[in-house]
Structure 1
């Protein structure tokens, strides 16, 4: 199956048919440890996640703010690797064959694993897409082109500083959807004004037919709803990771009820997104 006929395309087509935007949720694989992470991951679709971004833990996540940096360190301390990240996806796929999963992270762990082996194992595990934030379009031969040939969507980031001259280059081999980073800065920072987001989504739509998902700085159901009125999906990451952090004890272990509290928060975000265009 080609990437443009896979789970991501089907999910966005279904959302369009429903007349609503989607909720994309982000968690870091293995945070705070693999068992709890698997439980959260498995519960996300029922809580209202339409697509899932699963962070591949890395020692130097330079695009991420303190919350996700800390989640990476917790996951790495718990023994997470690329191989174990793919095991989480396999565990998820045992109970869910429909919800798209996009691995998000940095190129170093993929390069160390071996691109061909990584793509083969990712496809076998049930991965649908990749977001690799430190590989520019000029390096498409490294991973983007091989991913496309393997049937894996390569999702690219566009930012407020991606001008009309640069956009065609950014979009050239992008598939699945475009991830618009609504602020210049790191994850978990301030939110963009809804008027700015609407303008940016409109500009992207003039350059591509792909769905546009908007993230960075969305912390509340109300903010998610604002984005869902103008974009094809709202992406929430740091706010969910913060809920995980709040559910840890002094030793960094999951307190009873953590999984339920995180999924309950995701439900409020999903409710906001679903009601946005009502």
Structure 2
């Protein structure tokens, strides 16, 4: 018997006014797979993630997580399912009013609250420090505020918060944006290690082709509202699809015309 995908999307549509962003997206992400979605600015990559997260309501289609259509499930069931999702936002989205350690414990606290297993600060702190160590940060960083950190360190803290509570699913929104190539490779390595260690299913969106191949074992391209190609991430640079090839090689000439992002 074939195992059902961890995430199964069919016919997903979303428009903003006259602008069609998602036009019948179909996607299967198998359990334990790290899927990377590429595409130009304004092609709907972030909108797709936000639909799965429940931050945006699609116009049509289904989103199944572990066989449950989350768009039609009861609100409390939707909440339970999405509590098993960790998210690393493009700009890390740390809380400026909290210390680094409190930011990580926020992720732990939210997870424990969903499980009706509240923990005291003294109980969460050792786990939060362990999470920081897993992303290469020492205990002293925990006392700092996000504004005192470099961009790469902020990404690491965001990753530590995302993996708090061992989520079944992890999302990464442009994880290397704003980082130099070396730090980008470091973050990608940490993401790959964390996904492997947790056994989580992951979806990442990125413009960075080197990052896409370091993070993902599967890849797909979103163009004109549809996923026009899917395959192994290692095949991204020689897919044989003219649209994918133009995008991945950054060629000015080809089937992709200049688009106006949202």
Q: Please, what TM-score do these two structures have when normalized by structure 2?
A: 0.38
Higher fraction of strand = 2
Higher fraction of helix = 1
User: In terms of Rg, which structure is larger?
Assistant: 2
Q: Please, what TM-score do these two structures have when normalized by structure 1?
A: 0.37
